């Protein structure tokens, strides 16, 4: 099942295709204020998770009336709403592909906790199913072993980010290759490029959490 989740990050970072991705998804999830944003876009969430403290009472009532499965989180607990949502989607609903929007561009602490959540052992198993998507970026979480990274139209660059200790990282069939790289702390390799629009890049590593960020510049003459 393919699912789309909307978090509460700023609308200005949504990609143009969000509406279409929601329309064609099997399952829609709102996280906290994202539940209301889904309703505003004309979509009924199948699942909503959050402490909903950013909603006015009338807004919360609207969410509660519209959502089949609503789950209330405890704001003082260790797990973030996004983490609870991923566990619910992947374990309870067997979602095997989950695109997350609204995770970037606002509060830096929220973005970082979304980026680093797969360092938690209990979440690692779900990482390959997840993408974070915004106006300029697509983030994919890799697994140890070999990963085939196809070019995606519209993204000129890709970056490889070691979230923490990583062993024997190789990047092959890319403009800038890397051989047998190991690190004990986070490292990022920015602005790599595919060889052409057809040839996938290959990334393998023996240990660690590695992220690929497909990315593009803003239209250089707009910078809106």
Query: What is the contact surface with a copy of itself in residues (CB under 8 A)?
Result: 8, 10-13, 33, 37, 54, 75, 80, 104-110, 112-113, 116, 119, 136-137, 139, 157, 159, 161, 163-165, 184-188, 190-191, 213, 215-218, 220, 223-224
How many angstroms separate the CA atoms of 224 and 207, rounded?
40
In the bound state with a copy of itself, the residue whose beta carbon lies nearer, of 95 and 137, is: 137
CB of 54 to a copy of itself, least distance (A): 5
In the bound state with a copy of itself, the residue whose beta carbon lies nearer, of 1 and 119, is: 119
CB of 23 to a copy of itself, least distance (A): 21
CB of 137 to a copy of itself, least distance (A): 5
CB 154 within 8 A of CB 223: no
CB of 173 to a copy of itself, least distance (A): 19
How many angstroms separate the CA atoms of 160 and 140, rounded?
10
In the bound state with a copy of itself, the residue whose beta carbon lies nearer, of 16 and 108, is: 108
Q: In the chain, count of helices (H) and strands (E)?
A: 6, 14
In the bound state with a copy of itself, the residue whose beta carbon lies nearer, of 68 and 185, is: 185
In the bound state with a copy of itself, the residue whose beta carbon lies nearer, of 21 and 216, is: 216
CB 52 within 8 A of CB 61: no
CB of 43 to a copy of itself, least distance (A): 17
> Radius of gyration of the chain from Cα atoms?
18
How many angstroms separate the CA atoms of 212 and 161, rounded?
6
Using DSSP, state whether 38 is helix, strand or coil. helix
In the bound state with a copy of itself, the residue whose beta carbon lies nearer, of 61 and 112, is: 112
CB 116 within 8 A of CB 21: no
Whose CA is closest to 90, among 60, 118, 53? Answer: 118
CB of 1 to a copy of itself, least distance (A): 27
How many angstroms separate the CA atoms of 6 and 86, rounded?
12
Could you give the maximum distance between any two Cα atoms of the chain, in Å?
56
């Amino acid at each position: 099942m393919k699912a789309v989740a909307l978090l509460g990050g700023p609308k200005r970072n949504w990609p143009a295709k969000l509406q279409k991705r929601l329309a064609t998804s099997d399952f829609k999830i709102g996280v906290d204020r994202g539940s209301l944003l889904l309703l505003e876009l004309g979509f009924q969430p199948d699942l909503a998770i959050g402490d909903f403290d950013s909603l006015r009472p009338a807004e919360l009532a609207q969410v509660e009336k519209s959502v089949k499965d609503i789950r209330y989180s405890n704001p003082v607990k260790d797990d973030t709403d996004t983490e609870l949502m991923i566990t619910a989607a992947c374990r309870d609903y067997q979602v095997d592909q989950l695109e997350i929007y609204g995770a970037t561009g606002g509060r830096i602490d929220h973005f970082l906790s979304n980026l680093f959540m797969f360092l938690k052992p209990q979440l690692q198993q779900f990482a390959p199913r997840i993408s974070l998507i915004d106006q300029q970026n697509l983030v994919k979480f890799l697994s140890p072993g070999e990963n085939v990274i196809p070019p995606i139209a519209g993204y000129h660059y890709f970056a490889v980010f070691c979230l923490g200790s990583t062993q024997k990282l190789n990047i092959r069939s890319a403009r800038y290759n890397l051989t047998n790289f190991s690190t004990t702390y986070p490292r990022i390799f920015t602005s790599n490029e595919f060889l052409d629009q057809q040839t996938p890049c290959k990334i393998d590593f023996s240990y660690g959490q590695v992220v690929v960020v497909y990315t593009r510049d803003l239209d250089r003459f707009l910078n809106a």
